[in-house]
Amino acid sequence: MKRAEPLTQLQSVEPNTGSPPPPPAMTPENKVAAPAEARSLLATAWMRIRRSKVALLSLCVVVAILLFAILAPVLSAMSGNDPYTSNTSPEVLDDFQTPGLPLPGYMYPSAQHWLGVEPGLGRDLFARLAHGGQVSLTIALLSTAVSVVLGTVLGAAAGYFGGKTDAIISRIMDLFLAFPHLLLVLSLTPILQSRLRDTPLGEGSFLPMASLVIILGFFGWAYLARIVRGQVLSLREREFVEAARSFGASHLSVLFRQIIPNVMGVVLVYATMLIPTNISAEAALSFLGVGVKDPTPSWGQMLNAAQSGNWYLSDPWFLAVPGLMLIITVLAFNLLGDAVRDALDPKSSR
Amino acid sequence: MMTFILRRTGSLVLLLAAVSFITFTLFQLGPSDPAAAACGQECTPERVAEARVALGMDQPFLVQYIDYIRGFFSSRMIGAPGAQTLCEWPCLGKSFQTNENVADIIGRSLPYTFSMAIGALVLWTITGVGLGLLAALRKGTPVDKFIVGAASVGVSLPIPVTGLFLLLLFVNQLHLLPFTTNEINSPFGPQGPGAWVANYLLPWIALAVLFSASYIRVTRTNMIETFGEDFIRTARAKGLAPRTVTFKHGVRAGITPVVTMLGMDIGLLLGGAVLTEQIFSVPGLGFTAVHAAISGDLPVTMAITMLAAFFVIVANVAVDLAYAAIDPRVRLQ
For B126-172, what is each residue's pLDDT tens digit? Answer: 999 999 999 999 988 999 999 999 998 988 998 999 999 999 999 88
B309 CA to chain A: closest CA distance, Å?
Answer: 5
Q: What distance in Å separates the CA atoms of residue B217 and residue B211, rounded to the nearest whole number?
A: 11
Answer yes or no: do B158 and A189 touch at CB < 8 A.
no
Low-confidence ranges of chain A (pLDDT < 50): 1-37, 348-350
- SS3 state of residue B240: coil
Answer yes or no: do A183 and B15 touch at CB < 8 A.
no
Name which of A180, A288, A312 is nearest B309 (Cβ-Cβ): A180
B2 CA to chain A: closest CA distance, Å?
Answer: 24
Q: What distance in Å separates the CA atoms of residue B93 and residue B302, rounded to the nearest whole number?
A: 10
Q: Does residue B14 sit at the A interface (CB-CB below 8 Å)?
A: no
* Cβ atoms within 10 Å of A30's Cβ, excluding its own: 19
Q: Does residue A184 sit at the B interface (CB-CB below 8 Å)?
A: yes
CA atoms within 13 A on the CB side of A171: 13
Q: Which residues contact B181 (CB under 8 A, 6 or more apart)?
A: B199
- Cβ density class B81-111: b for 16+ within 10 Å, e for less: eeeeeebeebbbbbbbbeeebbbebbeebbe
pLDDT at A26: 44
Answer yes or no: do A182 and B221 touch at CB < 8 A.
no
Report the residue of chain A nearest B36, measured CA to CA.
A194
pLDDT at B327: 66
Cis ω on the peptide bond leading into residue A83 (within 30° of 0)? no
Hey, what long-range contacts does A116-119 have (CB within 8 A, 24 or more apart)? Answer: A116/A317, A116/A321, A117/A87, A117/A92, A117/A93, A118/A305, A118/A318, A119/A93, A119/A311, A119/A314, A119/A315, A119/A318
Q: What distance in Å separates the CA atoms of residue A216 and residue B122, rounded to the nearest whole number?
A: 31
- pLDDT tens for A32-43 read 444 444 567 778
- CATH superfamily ID and name for B102-331: MetI-like (1.10.3720.10)
A134 CA to chain B: closest CA distance, Å?
Answer: 19
Q: What distance in Å separates the CA atoms of residue A254 and residue B314, rounded to the nearest whole number?
A: 40
Answer yes or no: do A280 and B158 touch at CB < 8 A.
yes
A196 CA to chain B: closest CA distance, Å?
Answer: 9
Answer yes or no: do B32 and A290 touch at CB < 8 A.
no
A31 CA to chain B: closest CA distance, Å?
Answer: 36
Please report residues of A whose CB lies closer than 8 A to that of B15. 174-175, 178
Q: Does residue A57 sit at the B interface (CB-CB below 8 Å)?
A: no
Answer yes or no: do A194 and B292 touch at CB < 8 A.
no
Residues 89-148 in A contacting B (C-alpha not used; CB under 8 Å): none
Q: Does residue B284 sit at the A interface (CB-CB below 8 Å)?
A: no
Q: Which residue has the higher pLDDT, B210 or B327?
A: B210
Q: Does residue B260 sit at the A interface (CB-CB below 8 Å)?
A: no
Name which of B286, B294, B312 is nearest A178 (Cβ-Cβ): B312
- SS3 state of residue A108: coil
Report the residue of chain B nearest A179, measured CA to CA.
B309
Please report residues of B whose CB lies closer than 8 A to that of A197. 32
Q: Which helix (H) or strand (E) holds B326?
A: helix B298-326
Q: Residue length, chain B?
A: 333
Answer yes or no: do B158 and A283 touch at CB < 8 A.
yes
Q: What distance in Å separates the CA atoms of residue A208 and residue B231, rounded to the nearest whole number?
A: 56
**What angle, 0 to 180 degrees and rounded to 10, lies between the N-to-C axes of helices A41-49 and A53-70?**
120
Report the residue of chain B nearest A328, measured CA to CA.
B156
Please report residues of B whose CB lies closer than 8 A to that of A189. 293
Question: What's the CA dihedral at B262, B265, B269, B274 to 10 degrees?
Answer: -140
Name which of B30, B159, B289 is nearest A186 (Cβ-Cβ): B289
Name which of B15, B31, B167 is nearest A194 (Cβ-Cβ): B31
Answer yes or no: do B316 and A174 touch at CB < 8 A.
no
| B220-231 average pLDDT score | 86
DSSP state of B85: E
What is each CA distance from A118 to A79, A123, A314, in whole angstroms? 16, 5, 12
Q: Look at residue B30 and tell me whether its pLDDT is greater than 80.
A: no
Report the residue of chain A nearest B162, measured CA to CA.
A323
Q: Which residues contact A79 (CB under 8 A, 6 or more apart)?
A: A113, A114, A124, A126, A127
Q: In whole numbers, what is the pLDDT of chain B averaged over residues?
A: 84
Exposed, middle or buried, B138 (CB in 10 Å: 0-12/13-18/19+)? middle
Please report residues of A whose CB lies closer than 8 A to that of B22. 175
Answer yes or no: do A191 and B31 touch at CB < 8 A.
yes
Angle at A303 between CA B268 and CA A200, to 5 degrees: 85
Report the residue of chain A nearest B31, measured CA to CA.
A191
Q: Which residue has the higher pLDDT, B75 or A158?
A: A158
Q: What distance in Å separates the CA atoms of residue A99 and residue B112, rounded to the nearest whole number?
A: 35
Answer yes or no: do A175 and B160 touch at CB < 8 A.
no
Q: Which residue has the higher pLDDT, B106 or B78?
A: B106
Most confident option among A314-323, B89-98, B220-229: A314-323
Residues 138-157 in B contacting A (C-alpha not used; CB under 8 Å): 148, 152-153, 155-157
pLDDT at A300: 94
Helix residue spans in chain A (DSSP H): 4-13, 28-33, 41-49, 53-70, 72-79, 104-107, 125-161, 163-178, 181-196, 206-218, 222-235, 239-246, 251-254, 260-288, 299-307, 311-314, 316-344
Q: Which residues contact B286 (CB under 8 A, 6 or more apart)?
A: A183, B113, B271, B272, B273, B274, B275, B276, B277, B278
DSSP state of B172: I
Per domain, the residue ranges of chain B are 15-87, 102-331
Residues 24-53 in B contacting A (C-alpha not used; CB under 8 Å): 26-27, 30-32, 37
Please report residues of B whose CB lies closer than 8 A to that of A302. none
Answer yes or no: do B305 and A187 touch at CB < 8 A.
yes
What is each CA distance from B326 to A271, B252, B257, B321, in whole angstroms? 36, 11, 13, 9
pLDDT at B255: 78
pLDDT at B172: 86
Q: What does the DSSP assignment read for B196-224?
A: HHHHHHHHHHHHHHHHHHHHHHHHHHHHH
Q: Does residue B80 sit at the A interface (CB-CB below 8 Å)?
A: no
Q: What distance in Å separates the CA atoms of residue A230 and residue A1, rounded to the nearest whole number?
A: 28
Q: Please state the φ and ψ torsions of residue B297, each to the nearest 5 degrees.
A: -85, 80
Residues 165-204 in B contacting A (C-alpha not used; CB under 8 Å): 165, 167-168, 172
pLDDT at A347: 54
Pairs across A and B, CB distance < 8 A = 131
Please report residues of A whose CB lies closer than 8 A to that of B274. 182-183, 186, 284, 288
Name which of A182, A290, A326 is nearest B294 (Cβ-Cβ): A290
Q: Does residue B258 sit at the A interface (CB-CB below 8 Å)?
A: no
pLDDT at B328: 64
pLDDT at A9: 34
Q: Look at residue B333 and tell me whether its pLDDT is greater than 60.
A: no
Q: Does residue A275 sit at the B interface (CB-CB below 8 Å)?
A: no
Answer yes or no: do B290 and A186 touch at CB < 8 A.
yes
Q: Residue length, chain A?
A: 350
